[in-house]
Structure 1
Amino acid sequence: MVIKLECGDLEVSLKALKKLAYIATLQSYGPVNISSESFFGKLFGEKEEERIKVEEHDSGKVVVDIYIEVEYGVKVTEVAKNIMENVSHVMQNVGGCEDVEVNVHVTGVR
């Protein structure tokens, strides 16, 4: 992703954006575990950071998919909404993304 500045261009890698999304998710209320989306990911133990997908489309839109497990007894919709708001805020203000779509996939309850 390239951000136009007065003194030149700034290129931000998708890996850096993924790390921002990961930190913002951990700072949100409710998620117990950032879980793997697939059986093989769980079987072979993917790193938590790899369970977040960040894609940039040609239009400049950044799409973030996060797979989480939530704590038993919490409102899943509130947790998902909180994560969406936090990740979107961090991606826009810190990452420099103008158009961000955040999708939260709840894969389980602990």
Structure 2
Amino acid sequence: MKFQGTCGEVEVTQKALKKIVYYSLTELSDKLSVSARNWLQKVLNIFSSEESNLVINDDSGVTIDLYVAVGYGINIPETFAVVKDKIIESFKKHFAIENVDVNMHVTELK
């Protein structure tokens, strides 16, 4: 993703954007964690918890598909609101990106 900074053009890699999402989630670690998208990824352990399970696209904004494991007894809609606000706040603070869409997919309970 590229945007115009005060001193020229700034490019932020997908890996950096994914790290922001991961670090936002670690602050809420008591409620949820990053999860594999499907059972095969989980069995083969072919995903990295720091930089997987989200899709970032669009030049004008960011769309995140977040796959998570939620703790038993957690109110999912309430948790989603907290997660969404935290991720949007992080993108505004670190990258000045305003157009952020977050979709959360609960793949398992822990």
Normalised by the length of structure 2, the TM-score is 0.88
Alignment RMSD, CA only? 1.5
Partner of 1:48: 49
Provide the identity percentage: 29
The answer as to whether partners of 2:70 and 2:109 remain within 8 angstroms in 1 is: yes
8 Å CA contact retained: 2:37, 2:67: yes
Superposed CA deviations along residues 42-63 of structure 1, whole A, max 9, x for unmatched, are: 11112212433232214x1211
Aligned partners of 2:38 and 2:107 also within 8 Å: no
Note the C-alpha offset of 1:37: 0.7
Aligned residues: 108
Rounded Cα–Cα distance in structure 2 between residues aligned with 1:86 and 1:52: 17
Q: Displacement, 1:83? A: 0.7
Question: Which SS does the other structure have where 2:95 is aligned?
Answer: coil
Which residue does 1:25 correspond to in 2?
A: 25
Q: Unaligned 5+ residue runs, structure 2?
A: none
Who is 1:95 aligned against? 95
> Please, what TM-score do these two structures have when normalized by structure 1?
0.88
SS in 2 for 1:54: coil
Partner of 1:37: 37
Q: Which amino acid aligns with 1:98?
A: E
**Retained in 2: the 8 A contact 1:20–1:95?**
no
In the TM superposition, residue 30 of structure 1 has moved relative to its aligned partner by 1.1
Question: Take 1:17 and 1:88, find their aligned partners in 2: how far apart are those partners?
Answer: 12
Query: Any conservation in 2 of the 1:55–1:64 contact (CA below 8 Å)?
Result: yes
Q: In 2, Cα distance between the equivalents of 1:22 and 1:41?
A: 18
